[in-house]
Structure 1
Amino acid sequence: MGDSLKRLLQRLIRRIPTQMLKLTLEKWGRLTKAQQQSMDFTQPKWVLTERLLGICEENEWTVKHITELEMIYVMDNPNQGMWNAFQLIDPEDDFQSVELMKFKEQFKYHLGELVKHVSVKMKKHTDEAVWIRIAWGDSFSRPNHLKPTYVVHQLQAPYVYVTSLTLKQKPLLSQALILATRYQALKDANLSGRNLTAIRDLLMRQYQQVFPTRYPSPLAEKNETVSNTHIEREQAMFAANRHRMSCEAFGDGTLPQLQSVVYKLETKFRDHTNKTMSEREEPFRCVVKFASTNILESLRHCASSGIVSTPVTPLLSSIPLKGKNYFVITDNGPGPSSQKRQPQS
Structure 2
Amino acid sequence: MDDLSRRLLQRLVRRIPAQALKTTLGKWDRLTAAQRQSVDFTQPKWTITETLLAIFEENEWTMKHVTELEMIHIIDNPNQGMWYAFQLMDPEDDAKSVELTQFKEQFKAHLSELVRHVSVKIKKHTDEAVWIRIAWGDSFSRPNHMKPTYVVHHLQTPYVFVTSLTSKQKPLLSQALILSTRHQGIKDANLSGRKLAAIRDLLMKQYQQVFPTKYPGTLTEKNQTVSNPRIEREQAELGENRFQMACEAFGDGMLPQLQSAIYKLETKFRDHTNKTMTEREELPFKCVVKFSSTNLLESLRECAASGIASTPVTPLLSSIPLKGRNYFVITDNGLGPSSQTNQPQN
TM-score between both structures, scaled by the size of structure 2: 0.91
Inter-CA distance 26–324: structure 2 relative to 1 (3 Å threshold) = same
**1:301 corresponding residue in structure 2:** 302
Pair 1:343-2:344 in alignment: no
Matched positions, count: 338
Inter-CA distance 51–272: structure 2 relative to 1 (3 Å threshold) = farther
Distance (Å, rounded) in 2 between the aligned partners of 1:248 and 1:60: 58
Per-residue deviation at 1:77?
1.4
**1:222 corresponding residue in structure 2:** 222
- Contact 1:124 1:130 (8 Å CA) reproduced: yes
- Contact 1:119 1:143 (8 Å CA) reproduced: yes
Q: Which amino acid aligns with 1:342?
A: G
Distance (Å, rounded) in 1 between the aligned partners of 2:151 and 2:245: 37
Inter-CA distance 250–277: structure 2 relative to 1 (3 Å threshold) = farther
Between the two structures, name the one with larger relative contact order (CA 8 Å, sep ≥ 6).
Answer: 2
- Any idea what SS the aligned residue of 1:19 has? helix
Distance (Å, rounded) in 2 between the aligned partners of 1:267 and 1:134: 41
- Contact 1:210 1:321 (8 Å CA) reproduced: no
Distance (Å, rounded) in 1 between the aligned partners of 2:216 and 2:275: 37
**1:86 corresponding residue in structure 2:** 86
Distance (Å, rounded) in 2 between the aligned partners of 1:214 and 1:269: 41
The CA deviation string for residues 14-56 of structure 1, in whole angstroms up to 9 with x for no partner, is: 2211121111101111211111111111112222112111211
Range that drifts further, 270-279 or 309-318? 270-279
**2:190 corresponding residue in structure 1:** 190
Q: Which amino acid aligns with 1:174?
A: S
Inter-CA distance 225–154: structure 2 relative to 1 (3 Å threshold) = closer
* Structure 1 spans left out of the alignment, 5+ residues: 333-339
The CA deviation string for residues 147-171 of structure 1, in whole angstroms up to 9 with x for no partner, is: 0000111111111111100000000
**1:173 corresponding residue in structure 2:** 173
* Structure 2 spans left out of the alignment, 5+ residues: 340-346
TM-score between both structures, scaled by the size of structure 1: 0.92
Q: How does 1:114-133 map to 2 (within 5 A)?
A: 114-133=114-133
**1:97 corresponding residue in structure 2:** 97
Distance (Å, rounded) in 2 between the aligned partners of 1:62 and 1:236: 66
Distance (Å, rounded) in 2 between the aligned partners of 1:104 and 1:274: 62
- Contact 1:129 1:154 (8 Å CA) reproduced: yes
Inter-CA distance 258–225: structure 2 relative to 1 (3 Å threshold) = closer
Distance (Å, rounded) in 1 between the aligned partners of 2:327 and 2:8: 35
The CA deviation string for residues 69-125 of structure 1, in whole angstroms up to 9 with x for no partner, is: 001111111111111110110122454421211111111111001111100001111
Q: Which amino acid aligns with 1:97?
A: S
**1:325 corresponding residue in structure 2:** 326
Q: What do you get for the CA RMSD once the two structures are aligned?
A: 2.0
Distance (Å, rounded) in 2 between the aligned partners of 1:109 and 1:254: 41
